[in-house]
Structure 1
C-alpha cells in the first residue's frame, strides 16, 4: 500500500545501534547509518527523527537488551551479594566475548564521547549509568556494611564494568579481562566480610597500633 513503510523498524534500529556501538556517536555518519539500515536520509529522519533521536532510541534498545540480563543476574542470588556481583560480571564477560556483536559496550563508548553529545543524549547516557549503579546497589543491600560503603562498592563495580569494556576494545585477551573481574569480586567479598566483622571499611597499614 502507498505510504506504508516497507521495512521493519526494529531491525533498522538494531542495525543502527550496532553502528553507534562500533563507531561511536561522532563517527556514526548518516551515510554509515543509511548503509547499515538500508534507509535514505529522508527515511531515517521521518522514522526516527534525526541522528540524535535515533541515537537515544539505540541507547534505550541496548539498555533493554542488556539491562534485563544484568537485572536477572543481580537479583538471582538473594542473600548472597558476592555471588550476585559474580553473576553480573559473568553477563558482562559473555557480552564481550560474543562474536556476533561489536566489542566493548555502547554505554561506555558513548560516555567516552559525552562532550560531543547533545544535552538530551548526554542525560540519557548518565541515566543509564545511574540505573546500572542502582541495580548493583540493590544487590548489595542485604549486607551489614554501612550504606556509604555499599554506595562506594556499587560505584566501584560499575567502574570496573566500564573499564572491562574499554580494555576489550583495545584487544585485551579474555583471560586478562576475567582476572580483572575476579579481583573486583574479591574486593567486594573482602569489603563485605570486613563489614560483617564489625568494621566500616577495610583496615589499612595506617590503622595498626
Structure 2
C-alpha cells in the first residue's frame, strides 16, 4: 500500500486537495473507489495519510540538514535550503511542496486537515528554531528568524510552481541566509555592547 500512498500523495501535491478527484486518485493508485476507501478510508483520511507520508520523507531530510552543523546556525539554515532546492529541482517529484500547496488551500480544507497542515508548518518552524538556538540572540529574535526561514521555504515552493528558475530560487535562499547571518551577528553585537 505504500506505493499507492505515494501515488496518491503525488496527486494531492500536483493538483491540491480540491482538484484531487476520487477518479484521479483511483487512476494514480490503480485502486477502484471501493478499494481506495477500504485501504485508506475517505478522501480526507487519505489526504492526512499523504501529508504524514510527505512529512516523514522530507521532514527527515530537513532534520538531518538542520542538525548537521551544531554550533553553526547559519550553515544549518544553508543546508536546509540546499535540501529544499534539491527537492524542487528533482524531476522525479512534482513541482513545489505538498505543504505549501495545502496551506494555500487551508480555507477550503476541513478543520482536521487544516490543523494538520498548520501542525506540519509548526513542526518545521520548531526544527529551524532548534538549529538557531545556539546563537546568542534574544528568544523573540530566534522566533522571528525561524518563522522567516519557514516563510522563505514556502515562498520557494510557490515561486517554483510559478516557473521561477533555479538561479532565481537560489538567489532568494542566499539572501535569506544573509539575512539570518546579519540578524544573528547584530544580536551578538548587541549582547557584547550590553555585556
Q: TM-score, normalised by structure 2?
A: 0.97
2:108 and 2:29 map into 1 onto residues whose CA distance is 23
> Moved runs in structure 1, 4+ residues, more than 2 A?
none
- Counterpart mapping for 1:91-170 below 5 A: 91-170=83-162
Could you say which structure has the larger radius of gyration?
Answer: 1
- Counterpart mapping for 1:71-110 below 5 A: 71-110=63-102
Residue 125 of structure 1: how far off its partner (Å): 0.1
Q: TM-score, normalised by structure 1?
A: 0.91
Residue 56 of structure 1: how far off its partner (Å): 0.2
2:39 and 2:108 map into 1 onto residues whose CA distance is 23
1:97 and 1:190 map into 2 onto residues whose CA distance is 28
Size of the aligned set, in residue pairs, is 192
Residue 119 of structure 1: how far off its partner (Å): 1.1
Q: Return the structure number with greater helix share.
A: 2
Structure 2: segments with no counterpart, 5+ residues: none
Residue 198 of structure 1: how far off its partner (Å): 1.5
Structure 1: segments with no counterpart, 5+ residues: 1-8, 201-209
3-state DSSP class of the match of 2:91? coil
3-state DSSP class of the match of 1:59? helix
